[in-house]
Amino acid sequence: MKKLLVYLKPYRWETVLAPLFKMFEAVLELIVPLVMASIIDMGIANKDSRYVLGMSGVLVALGVVGLIAAVTAQYFSAKAAVGFSAGVRKALFSHLQSLSYKETDSLGTSTMITRMTGDVNLMQTGVNMTLRLLLRSPFVVLGAMVMAFLIDPTSALIFVAVIPLLYLVVWLIMRITLPRYKGVQKQVDGVLLKTRENLSGVRVIRAFNKQDDEREEFNRINENLTGAQCRVGGISALMNPLTYVIVNLGIVVLIYVGAIRVDTGIITQGMVVALINYMSQILTELVKFANLVVTITKALAGAKRVSDVFDIQSSQCFGTRTEGEKTDEILRFDNVSVQYYSETQPALSSVNFSVKAGETVGILGGTGSGKSTLVNLIPRFYDVTQGSVLYQGADLREYDRDVLRNRMGIVPQKAVLFRGTIRDNLKWGNPDATDEELWQALRIAQAEDFVRQKERGLDEPVEQGGRNFSGGQRQRLTIARALVRKPEILILDDSASALDYATEASLRMALKELSFKPTVFIVSQRASSVRHADLILVLDDGEIVGMGTHETLISECDVYQEIYYSQFEKEETV
C-alpha cells in the first residue's frame, strides 16, 4: 500500500482538509449534549421559554455548521479518493501495456480486469472512509469520555468499564471475520472468472448444449460464495446486538447512579442526559469504526493484489538501435528455440532460415506445430530461449521497440476490431493516412466493396469486437489496417481462414502488386495459400521438417505431401 500512496500526492491538501473538517464536526457534536443539559437545567427547570428558544437556536446553528463541515469533508475526501483511484488505474493500465506476452499470459485476462476494476474500487472506498472516519471515531470516543469526566468523574467510571468491553467485542469479532473476508474476496474473483468465461464462450456453450451444466457449475460457485458471505455476515451481525446490550446496560447503570446523585444534589438532570448522550455517541462511533476496519482490510487486500501486479516487471529489455546494416537479407533465424514458461517441451527447436527483402514466406503445418510462435518472434512479442533473430543483420533485442514494431504490419489469428468507426480502426496502422490511402488498403484487402455498400462508408460504426461484421469482413478489415502502415514486414497469421478460395486468391495477387514491396509471412493450414510463396517452411512439432519452394517440397517432404494432397483431394471431391 505504501508504494501506492504516491498517487495521493497531488491531493495532499484534500487529505489534510478532509480529516480536519471531520474533526471540527466531531467537536460540534461533543458540544451538543452540553447544550441539551443547559436547556434542561436552566430553561426547562426555570420555565424560561426565551432561554429554551435561544439555546434551541444554538442547537440548530451547531447542526447547520456541522452539516456544512461534514459535506465539505465529504467533498475533499471524495475528490482525493477518486483522484487517487484514477491515478492508480491509469498507472496500472500503462504498466500492463508495458508487459510482454509472457507476463500477460501468466497473469490472465480475468485477473487483470479484476485488479483494474474491483480491487481499485476497494482502494477508492478505503481511502474515502479512512479520510473521513479514521481520526474522527477515536476522537469522538475519547472526547466523550473526557467530557463525561468533566461532568461527573464518579459517573464517568461507568464509561471506563463499558468502553473496554465494547472494544473487546469489536476486536474479537474483527479477528474472526477479517480472514474470512479475504477468503470471500477470493471467491468473488472465482465468480468473476466463471462469468467472464461463460460470456466470452457463450456460442461454444450453446453449440455443445452445455447451458444446464454451466448453469449448475455457476450456481455451485455462487452458492459457495453466498454461504461464505452468510457465515462471515452472521458473525459480523453479532456486533450490533452485543454492543447495544453492553451500552444499554451501561445506560441503565448510568441512569441508576445518576438518579441517586441527582437526588443527593451532586449533579443535575441535564448532566445525566448529557452523560447518556455521550454513551450513545460512543456506541455509534465504535460501530462506525468496526465497519471502517472491515473496509480498510478489504482495501489493503486489494492494494496488495494491485501492488503484486506492479511488482511484475517485463522480461524484455529493448535497445536503442534504429537502423540495421545495409544487406539484402532482411531477417535471419539463427538456431532459434523457444520454450513457454509453463511448458516442459520447447515450442520451437533449432530453427534456422533466412529471408531476403521483398520475398514471400509461407509457413505451413498442423495445429500446434509452432507456426504462430515463429511469427510472434519477429515483432518480438516473445523472446527466444536460445539462439537469436536478426533483423537487417542486428539482433532484435538491440532495436528500439517503437522503431521495430512500426516497421511491421501484423494481422493476428483472431481478427480484433475496436469500437469506433472503420476509419478509426484503419488509422491504427497510420494516424496520418489520407482517405485515398485508406481506400487503397481496403481495395488490396478485398474489403472495398462491402465498405462502399455501407451507408456511411469509412464512417460506418464498429461495435465492440467488430460484432456487427462477419468473420470474413473482420479479417479483411484487419488486413487493411496492417496495409495502411505500408510495413517493411507484413505478417498474416492465418488471417484468411474465414475467406473463400476466390477472395483469398485475389488477396494474394493484390499483395504481389504492392508498390512498397514488403516481406510477407503467410501462416496458414491451407497449402493453396502458400504454394506460390518464394520460400515455404513446413513445421511439425516445433521443428522445420521441410524448407523450399512448392516444387521442391512436393517431391521431397512427406509432411508437405500429406497436407497438400489431403486438401486437394477434398477440393476435387467437392
Domains in the chain, number: 3
- Whether residue 73 is found in the same domain as residue 15: yes
Task: Specify whether the CB–CB gap between 523 and 375 falls below 8 A.
Answer: yes
CA dihedral 58, 59, 60, 62 (to 10 degrees): 90
Residue 517 is assigned to a structural domain of this protein: no
Name beta bridge partners: 538: 364, 546
- Whether residue 568 is found in the same domain as residue 545: yes
pLDDT of residue 187: 82
pLDDT of residue 19: 92
Counts of helices then strands in the chain (DSSP H, E): 21, 12
Task: Specify whether the CB–CB gap between 333 and 406 falls below 8 A.
Answer: no
SS3 for 431?
Answer: coil
Last residue of a domain, one of 259, 288, 311: 311
* Helix intervals (H) in 312-434: 371-376, 401-406, 422-426
SS3 for 394?
Answer: strand
- Whether residue 14 is found in the same domain as residue 128: yes
Task: Specify whether the CB–CB gap between 417 and 475 falls below 8 A.
Answer: no
Task: Specify whether the CB–CB gap between 85 and 128 falls below 8 A.
Answer: no
- Whether residue 479 is found in the same domain as residue 528: no
Residue 52 is assigned to a structural domain of this protein: yes
Residue 518 is assigned to a structural domain of this protein: no
- Whether residue 293 is found in the same domain as residue 346: no
Which grid cell sits at 525? 493450414
- Whether residue 263 is found in the same domain as residue 340: no
Residue 81 is assigned to a structural domain of this protein: yes
pLDDT of residue 569: 63
- Whether residue 306 is found in the same domain as residue 324: no
* Number of neighbouring beta carbons within 10 Å of residue 94: 9
* Helix intervals (H) in 324-384: 371-376
* CATH number for the domain harbouring residue 353: 3.40.50.300
Residue 540 is assigned to a structural domain of this protein: yes
- Whether residue 69 is found in the same domain as residue 181: yes
User: Residue 131 belongs to what domain range?
Assistant: 2-311
The H or E element spanning position 451 is helix 448-453
Residue 519 is assigned to a structural domain of this protein: no
pLDDT of residue 343: 60
Burial string for 237-270 (b: 16+ CB within 10 Å, else e) reads: eebeebbeebbeebbeebeebbeebbeeeebbeb
* CATH number for the domain harbouring residue 298: 1.20.1560.10
* Per-residue pLDDT tens digits of the chain, which is 574 residues long: 677 888 988 999 999 999 999 999 999 999 999 888 888 888 888 888 888 899 999 999 999 999 999 999 999 999 999 999 999 999 999 988 888 888 887 777 777 887 888 889 989 998 999 998 888 888 888 888 888 888 888 888 888 888 888 888 878 887 887 778 777 877 877 887 788 788 878 888 888 898 999 999 999 999 998 998 888 888 878 877 888 888 888 888 888 888 888 888 888 888 888 888 888 888 788 778 877 877 887 788 788 888 888 888 888 888 888 887 777 889 999 999 998 876 667 889 999 999 998 899 999 988 888 888 999 999 998 889 899 999 988 899 999 988 998 999 999 888 889 999 999 999 998 899 999 999 999 999 999 999 999 888 899 999 988 888 988 899 999 999 999 999 999 999 888 877 888 888 888 889 888 888 899 999 988 888 888 899 999 998 889 999 999 999 998 899 899 888 888 764 443 3
- Whether residue 51 is found in the same domain as residue 68: yes
281: phi then psi, degrees, rounded to nearest 5: -60, -40
- Whether residue 358 is found in the same domain as residue 504: yes
Residue 555 is assigned to a structural domain of this protein: yes
- Please give the Cα distance from 93 to 107 (Å, whole number): 14
Question: Residue 3, CB half-sphere, CA atoms under 13 Å: how many?
Answer: 11
Which grid cell sits at 409? 504490419
Quickly tell me which residue has 537479407 as its cell: 329
Query: What is the C-alpha R_g of the chain?
Result: 35
- Whether residue 92 is found in the same domain as residue 201: yes
Last residue of a domain, one of 311, 327, 350: 311
Q: What angle do CA 411, 376, 525 make, to 5 degrees?
A: 65
- Whether residue 351 is found in the same domain as residue 420: no
In one letter, which amino acid is 389?
A: V
